[in-house]
Each structure stands twice: as structure tokens, then as C-alpha cells.
Structure 1
Amino acid sequence: MRRLDAGFGLTELMLALALGLLLVLGATQVFLSARQTYVAQSSAAVAQEDARFVLSKIAQEIRMIGMFGCIATDSIINVPSVFQTPISWQGAAGSRSWRFISADVGLPGAKPDWTVVSDCKRTAQVYAGQYLPLAPGETGFALRHIIYWFENGQLKVGPGKTVLLDNVAAFDMSFGMANSATGQSVQRYEDSPVSLANIRSVKIALTLQDPKARIKDQSYHLAVALRNRLE
């Protein structure tokens, strides 16, 4: 047999195998990198959606803090003592509770803790639970005592501590304060305000973590102005 008809030698075969292996490894690396990027983007999107849902819910409730009807609180009959502290932020880092009184935003199946019945002129009275029917000329303002808990890496809601969000690395809050009860603009932020009448806004910082460490901790911030004075 002539040498030109002998086919591939061992050297050529090994070189072809090495080149093929390099191509396979390259393609595998591209696939793994693309998959890692997809997983990271999906994890970030899930965290962002969770944060958006929770923060939008909280924002809606914050705007209605201190909404006790159409007559000043000191003119309402049978005002519960809890109305005197319509917002509080208690506890140590990693285990805190946030309590506030907010007008019911009409969540499905939710029942108010109190109803303020008023003629919006001279009289107003607080009743426990839901109050129906209303007399002609009366308006009912449904109120709820809302509690959020941050403990053991979870954000919980309600007296029963229903888990609202898992994998919470941090949940912090500060309050935008005016210089006086009649001031309009926020001059500073305080973690534990003494004068509730000076609160003009609430700032929340929420940090979520991926339990599988596929992405860095995701931080989200929300600042919401109060529609109602806490007086």
C-alpha cells in the first residue's frame, strides 16, 4: 500500500480528538454561563415582584394612617386608647414589630376592627367591628389595627403572624419629621419619633436575600407621605 493511502495516523487522530473536546467544552461553558445568567435574572425578577407586591400594599396602608373620619379625634366618643398612638415601631434589630391604625382599604374578606360613625358636622362615635346599617346623614369610616412583624428572616402580618414574605435579610423604617405640628415639609428622619403630630412621611428599607446565593442581596426603598395628620 502506498503511503498516501494509509489514512490518519495516531498524531492526527489525537489532534482531532483534542480539537473536538475543546469545541465541546467551549459550547458547554457557553451553555452553563447562559443558564447561570437566566437563573440569576429569574431570581432577581422573583425578588423584585415580591418586594413590589409587599411595598405597594404597605404604601396603600400608610397613606391612610390617622384617617379617623371627618371630625377631630378629640371630638369622637368612645375613642380607644390605642388611637392615641396610631403608629409605633418597637423591638431590636432582627426582631421588630410595626403597629398602626389605618382606614380599611377594602381588602376582600377583611373586617374592620372599629367603625367611626359620624354626621361629619358635630357628632362621631367609635363602635367595635363593623357597624351597619347607617342612619340617613351618617358616614361610616372602617378602621383596622394592622401589625407587621419582622423576625427570623420573615415579614409577617396580623396578630396571628401570617407569613407575608420569606428570605427577608433586613426590614427597617424611619419617619420623616417636620419641625412642628403645623410644619408641612420633612426636615429630618427619625427611627423612634416622640412627637407623632410631626410625622409627615414613612421611609421603608427592605432587603431580600436568595437562599441559594444565586444573586446578591436585593435592596428596595420606599418613601410614602401620610395623607392624614397624626394629631
Structure 2
Amino acid sequence: MKRRVRGFSLVEMLVALAVGLMLVLGGSQVVISTRMTYSSQLAATVLQDDARFVLGKLTQDIRQAGMFGCLTTAFIEEAPATLERPVGWSRSGDATALTLITADVGKGGGKPDWTVASDCRTVARAYAGTPPAPTPGQVHFALRQLTYTYESGQLKVSTPAAPAKAVLIDNVGAFDISFGMAAKPASTGVVRYDSNPADESLIRSVRVLLTLQDPTGRVRDQTYSVVAALRNRQG
């Protein structure tokens, strides 16, 4: 006697399809979630790398601001008046600018704006452009004026020799600078931060707050900060 062969019923087929569909949808959600997490982490890493590059460059230039050789500005002959203010700033509308006159320690940034020739004892002279060859016992200190300008969502840099502003970084949401102030000229400690100090001789450090935005919206705005101490007294 033949045995009856039974297949799947319609209800069983529908249940199997529903379970399979749920498994596929669950697996798809895991894949999509993983891809979104990776994408957001990649975007955050890009912002961190950009901030590290810009803030590292700013920190180095701030620390070298006012380093004009072995002798102070008062002993440098033919020193331009701009050397008296190695750290400057301005704000106009939504634009913020930080100007630094700093030692060109890398000697890879092209022609310096000024060169101080000094014997590091009693004589020092500033030259614009190309200075004469150093004499025996004389040292040359290359100086460069850099202006960092934040405007229209970009941080740019310019020099007197190249006044056209070159874009350092895009997608900048904010660029704020303030100055760590000492209580009196003889003090080295910082007692407060001021965005527009009246007495530049009390400046001891510069604080920079940089907010970067992800143009794709994968991560929220990221704010980074750095405080760079001035190694050379202002004013």
C-alpha cells in the first residue's frame, strides 16, 4: 500500500517566509549599522587629523613668536616697527585674524620677511629681503610674519610676500582666540583669559578654540582647543 506524500501547507510556507524575511532584515540592519558606524568614525578621524595639523602649526608659531635672536628688539638696529608687536589680532564682522612674527626655524618656507644678523653680544641689525653674507662670529635669524584669518568657514594663512590668502582648512564653524594674562608684568602665571587685552605686556599664552564641521553631517560639530605658552615676553 502506497504511503501518502505530504508537502508544506500554505500556512507553513507563509511562516517560513516570514521568519526568513525577519532574518534577512535583521542581518541587513546589522550591516547598515556597521557601515554607518564606520562612516561616522572615519568622518571624526578626518576632523581630528585636520585639527591636529592646524593646531600643531599654530602652536609652533605661537611659541616662536617674538624670537628675534640673541638680543631684544631694543638692541636691533633698523628694526621695523612691526617687530614691536609680534602677536597681533583683529576682528571685523565674522572675520578673525591672528598675526604672528615668528622665527622661521624650518627654513623651508621660502624667503624670510626679515633677517636679523647678530653677534649675540652687542650688535644686531635687521634686514628686509636678502641680507649680506654673515661675517665671522655673526649669526642670522630668519623671521616670518604669518596671518591666520578665519572667514567664510575657512581658515587661511598669508604673509607679506604672499598676501593672497591660502586656505589651510575648510568647514570651520568657529575660530576663537583669547590670551592668558598675568596679574602684573613681573608675574609668569596666568590669572585670566581676555579676548582683547589692553596691556600686551601681560600676555603669557594664547588659547585657540577651533570648531570643525562634517559637510556630510555624519558627526556633530567637533570643538578642539589648545593653549600655547609664549616663550618670549610681549610689550
For normalisation by structure 2, the TM-score amounts to: 0.93
SS at match of 1:45: helix
Q: Which residue of 1 aligns with 2:175?
A: 171
Q: Which residue of 2 aligns with 1:207?
A: 211
Q: Which residue of 2 aligns with 1:188?
A: 192
Out of 92-101 and 198-207, give the one that drifted further: 92-101
Compute the displacement of 1:3 (Å).
Answer: 9.2
SS at match of 2:185: coil
Give the whole-Å Cα distance in 1 for the aligned partners of 2:42 and 2:116: 46
Out of 129-138 and 45-54, give the one that drifted further: 129-138
Q: Which residue of 2 aligns with 1:148?
A: 148
Does the 8 Å CA contact 1:181/1:197 hold for their aligned counterparts?
A: yes
Amino acid at match of 2:211: T
Out of 11-20 and 91-100, give the one that drifted further: 91-100
- Written as runs of structure 1 = structure 2, the 5 A alignment for 1:86-101 is 86-92=86-92, 94-101=94-101
Amino acid at match of 1:26: G
Compute the displacement of 1:120 (Å).
Answer: 1.3
SS at match of 2:61: helix
Q: Which residue of 2 aligns with 1:53?
A: 53
For normalisation by structure 1, the TM-score amounts to: 0.95
Give the whole-Å Cα distance in 2 for the aligned partners of 1:4 and 1:26: 38
SS at match of 1:224: strand
Compute the displacement of 1:59 (Å).
Answer: 0.7
- Written as runs of structure 1 = structure 2, the 5 A alignment for 1:4-153 is 5-92=5-92, 94-153=94-153
Give the whole-Å Cα distance in 2 for the aligned partners of 1:67 and 1:119: 15
Gap change, CA 1:3 and 1:162, over 3 Å in 2: farther
Task: Tell me the alpha carbon deviations over residues 20-45 of structure 1, each in whole angstroms, 9 at most, x when there is no partner.
Answer: 11011000000000000000000101
Out of 126-135 and 172-181, give the one that drifted further: 126-135
Compute the displacement of 1:125 (Å).
Answer: 0.8
SS at match of 2:32: helix
Compute the displacement of 1:91 (Å).
Answer: 1.3
User: How many residues end up aligned between the 2 structures?
Assistant: 231
Give the whole-Å Cα distance in 2 for the aligned partners of 1:130 and 1:19: 80
Compute the displacement of 1:108 (Å).
Answer: 2.2
Gap change, CA 1:91 and 1:53, over 3 Å in 2: same
Q: Which residue of 2 aligns with 1:162?
A: 166
SS at match of 1:74: helix
Does the 8 Å CA contact 2:61/2:100 hold for their aligned counterparts?
A: no
Compute the displacement of 1:154 (Å).
Answer: 0.5
Give the whole-Å Cα distance in 2 for the aligned partners of 1:213 and 1:21: 31
Does the 8 Å CA contact 1:94/1:170 hold for their aligned counterparts?
A: no
Q: Does 1:217 align with 2:215?
A: no
Compute the displacement of 1:121 (Å).
Answer: 1.3
Q: Which residue of 2 aligns with 1:197?
A: 201
Task: Tell me the alpha carbon deviations over residues 26-70 of structure 1, each in whole angstroms, 9 at most, x when there is no partner.
Answer: 000000000000000001011101111111111111111111111
In structure 1, runs of 5+ residues without a counterpart are: none
Compute the displacement of 1:129 (Å).
Answer: 2.1
Task: Tell me the alpha carbon deviations over residues 205-224 of structure 1, each in whole angstroms, 9 at most, x when there is no partner.
Answer: 01101011100111111001
Out of 123-132 and 212-221, give the one that drifted further: 123-132
Does the 8 Å CA contact 1:64/1:227 hold for their aligned counterparts?
A: yes
Amino acid at match of 1:216: R
Q: Equivalent pairs: percent with the same residue?
A: 50
Compute the displacement of 1:84 (Å).
Answer: 2.1
Amino acid at match of 1:108: G
Does the 8 Å CA contact 1:96/1:151 hold for their aligned counterparts?
A: yes
Out of 202-211 and 2-11, give the one that drifted further: 2-11
SS at match of 1:63: helix
Compute the displacement of 1:92 (Å).
Answer: 3.8
Gap change, CA 1:207 and 1:4, over 3 Å in 2: farther
Task: Tell me the alpha carbon deviations over residues 146-196 of structure 1, each in whole angstroms, 9 at most, x when there is no partner.
Answer: 011100100001121101001100111110111222211111111012222
